[in-house]
Structure 1
Amino acid sequence: MTNRETETTICATNKISADRDARKAFEIAKHDIAQSFLQELDKVITQGRLSELAETTGGIRLSWTNKLNTTAGRANWKRETVRTRNPDGSEASIRYRHHASIELAEKVIDDQHRLLNVIAHEFCHLANFMVSGITNNPHGKEFKVWAAKCSRRFGDRGIEVTTKHSYDIDFKYVWECTSCAMEYKRHSKSINPDRHRCGACKNPLKQTKPVPRAGARKPSEYQTFMKEQMRLLKEENPKTPQKEIMRRVADRWSSREAASVDEVAVGIEHLDLDGADGSESRTA
């Protein structure tokens, strides 16, 4: 390897290490960053109006979820009407309780820039719901007014609120059709090329991320036995608990192993008795 190639390899390794450290630091700090920026948005953009409206229900709740796979965030709002009545049954007063929350996608938001922009976007939705009273046109002109305010006030921090989250989601697994090059992206290894085909042209798929290691290990004899026996026992005993099924399979494996040991022992004994030269032998 030349000096230049060595330097390139070192630089690439250092970048990977730096990216890994940055992700770890973000994971530790992201909850505090999100809460702090939400409070700042409310104070600067709506003069604390959202916190005031949601105070009786515990304020605006922030939560991180693994269930959002294709969008970075979601704003949730509900207005509860509370009526009080006089002793004669007439209505005395009406008040409203605002339930507001923002969900943030664990699998999509992977850096601070994206986090701040997602919170700003969802904050504008809540402002649109709770202050402007718009519930049937989430990205209409009123939303755009709130978006412009946020972008103008926090533009120096990279905030630009648009009508949608235009992020490239970093999926952990990717498969590609061997014929039409259609890609299938997932957060988990939920596609099996041996069983699944391209939905567009029905041709085989190949995994491209991460690239499978060559010469994948075959299942061991024990794994094959367990899989087959689990299937058989479940078919024979559909109402039997999983724990009991596993115990029975383990017993079958133990019995099989014991039988194998006996067979080996008998074979060795025969060899000892017969002798290598065909003569009888004994040991004391």
Structure 2
Amino acid sequence: MEVTWNKKMRKTAGYCVTGQRRGVEVQRYARIELSEKVCDSAERLRDTLVHEMCHAATWLINGVRDGHGQFWKLYARKSTVVHPELPMVTRCHSYEINYKYQYECRKCKNKIGRHSKSLDTQRFVCALCTGQLVLLTSQKNATPVRTELNPFAAFVKENYGSTKKELVGMSHGDVMRKLSADFASKARL
């Protein structure tokens, strides 16, 4: 039986693919796919693998695809009897998924997790209250920190477009020098 890692599964811990090849005789097969993103610890990997092996057993041994039905429950109970030191095999996982990137709503403090930095905070808002989303970054101890623009970065963000139009044909470096001078004179006031 083949067991592979799947980079695309973002919330599902594992999946058992079953099928059959027809030839001289019908041959059943099962393949297990595990999520790289969700199975990120030895315990999660073990529990997910046992769960998916129960699905594979129902098909390979009994020729039945019954989801989490009576045959699946039979193999789940058998695994608990054989290995009582392991947690019981459950129907669904309740894993807290560890996202690389976290966004937080400024209004309601709702958190949204992403595996990539794909959320454009200029275009998307909080689904709960339509508040502005802010990217949180992780410190070395994995606690999220709010990323706020420093005053100069905020000034550049606000004024770059108009300054670029004002200095048509000038290089990015020239535009930044002008913005730097404008910011310095504004700061002195």
Between Structure 1 and Structure 2, the one with more helix by share is 1
Show the counterpart of 1:108: 38
Deviation >6 Å, runs of 4+ = none
Letter in 1 for 2:96: D
1:187 to 111, 115, 119: 115
Contact 2:29-2:60 at 8 Å conserved across structures = no
Between Structure 1 and Structure 2, the one with more strand by share is 2
Instruction: Give the paired residue count.
Output: 156
Show the counterpart of 2:17: 76
Contact 1:75-1:103 at 8 Å conserved across structures = yes
Contact 1:116-1:159 at 8 Å conserved across structures = no
Between the aligned partners of 1:67 and 1:144, the Cα distance in structure 2 is 28
Show the counterpart of 2:179: none
1:125 aligns with 2:55: yes
Contact 1:120-1:159 at 8 Å conserved across structures = no
- Report the TM-score when normalising by structure 1: 0.49
1:163 aligns with 2:91: yes
* 1:121-270 matched pairs, under 5 angstroms: 121-135=51-65, 137-156=66-85, 158-210=86-138, 211-215=145-149, 218=153
Unaligned runs of 5+ residues in structure 2 are 139-144, 175-189
Query: Shift of residue 124 of structure 1?
Result: 0.2
> Matched residue of 1:115: which SS?
helix
Between the aligned partners of 2:122 and 2:84, the Cα distance in structure 1 is 49
Query: Shift of residue 212 of structure 1?
Result: 4.3
Show the counterpart of 1:18: none
Between the aligned partners of 1:175 and 1:143, the Cα distance in structure 2 is 38
In terms of Rg, which structure is larger?
Answer: 1
Contact 1:177-1:203 at 8 Å conserved across structures = yes
Show the counterpart of 2:187: none
1:63 aligns with 2:4: yes
Unaligned runs of 5+ residues in structure 1 are 1-59, 84-94, 229-251, 261-284
Letter in 2 for 1:133: G
Between the aligned partners of 1:212 and 1:173, the Cα distance in structure 2 is 12
Q: Could you list the per-position Cα deviations for residues 158-189 of structure 1 after superposition, in whole angstroms to 9, with x for gaps in the alignment?
A: 24211112211111112122333332111111
Query: Shift of residue 214 of structure 1?
Result: 4.5
Query: Shift of residue 190 of structure 1?
Result: 1.2
